[in-house]
Amino acid sequence: MHKLAEVRVGDSNPIRIMGIINTSPESFYNKSVFTDKQTIAKTAKLMEEDGADFIDVGGMSTAPYNKTLVSEDKEINRITNAIETVRKVSKLPVSIDTCRAKVAKVALQLGAEIVNDVSGLKYDKKMIDILEEYSPSVIVCAFSNELIRGNQVMQAKKLILQSVSMALKSGISKNKIVVDPALGFFRKKAQGILFTKINSDWLKRDMLVLKNLNKIKDQYPILVSISRKSFIGEMLGEKDPEKRLYGSLAAETFAALYGADVIRTHNVKATNDIIKIVENLKNLKKGL
């Protein structure tokens, strides 16, 4: 039985929702950035009311097409403020969105229970030490420092299993691991440091991955993060992330039908509504 924190995920459990709280002004979607305690508190409470199962806090944008690297100290200051505030107003488990061991350690000391590493534990070698010390739940993304060629669906699965193996070797229980195919992070070229270089079309790659979630996740629950991303903007011809809500919901619906177990989103209430519809339709008995 798989869990993120104490929340059951995957198998016959409902599709779970992870709400996003960004504290990085560099984020690609400005409306998701919350820096003052009052706004963070209000947002966290609303996410809980709207049906979120987790809150994911990030202090550094990882958008591959932007230069977003900030100092560890700045990232720590941002997430400290946010986690302390969220923990005061919400009972939801907190996830820390970071690829840095030092940041993850501070977050776990503050009460975070999940480490969400977009580098699949490959960016900071000391992250394994943090997993060994704190034994949190872990979300690992498909990621590589080398050029990835060939079938991108199978390559995503291969990269994920590499990171899963790293987590298992650190002593993390298999039942505390969730995987992420890293939609939006595979590019031919990018300005950021956290992307995987491929020699094929990135949009086609993401579309194929989304359609093959069940093949990629293997025996682990899979988390999908597509809310307002450039993946949506490219298909809609819409550069403004604020205008990508309906496209995001369509893609999230598709993900829910094709195997997603957790959906990470900026739009908790709207995403919760579509999941309710999908779950009811999937559970409807035949022959009525």
Please give the structure tokens belonging to residue 267.
């739009």
Q: Which residue's entry shows tokens 């059951």?
A: 8
Position 47 in a domain: yes
Please count the other Cβ atoms lying within 10 Å of the Cβ belonging to residue 133.
13
Q: What is the pLDDT of residues 212-245, one digit of tens each?
A: 999 999 899 999 999 888 889 889 999 888 889 9
Which distant-in-sequence residues (6+ apart) come within 8 Å of 167 by Cβ?
121, 131, 138, 140, 177
* Average pLDDT of the chain to the nearest whole number: 91
Which distant-in-sequence residues (6+ apart) come within 8 Å of 224 by Cβ?
180, 181, 183, 210, 213, 252, 255, 260, 262, 263, 264
Predicted structure pTM score: 0.92
Position 29 in a domain: yes
**pLDDT over threshold 60, residue 114:** yes
Predicted local confidence at residue 27, as pLDDT: 64
Task: Provide the pLDDT confidence category of residue 81 given band limits of 50, 70 and 90.
Answer: very high
CATH number of the domain that residue 41 is part of: 3.20.20.20
Position 196 in a domain: yes
Position 216 in a domain: yes
Position 27 in a domain: yes
Q: What is the pLDDT of residues 6-51, one digit of tens each?
A: 999 999 999 999 999 998 766 665 666 677 899 999 999 999 999 9
Bridge partners of residue 18, in order along the sequence: 54, 264
Position 176 in a domain: yes
Predicted local confidence at residue 32, as pLDDT: 60
Position 288 in a domain: no
**pLDDT over threshold 80, residue 265:** yes
Provide mean pLDDT across the span 127-155.
95
Position 19 in a domain: yes
Q: Which domain holds residue 261?
A: 3-283
Please give the structure tokens belonging to residue 64.
């591959």
**pLDDT over threshold 90, residue 67:** no
User: Domain tally for the chain?
Assistant: 1
Predicted local confidence at residue 277, as pLDDT: 95
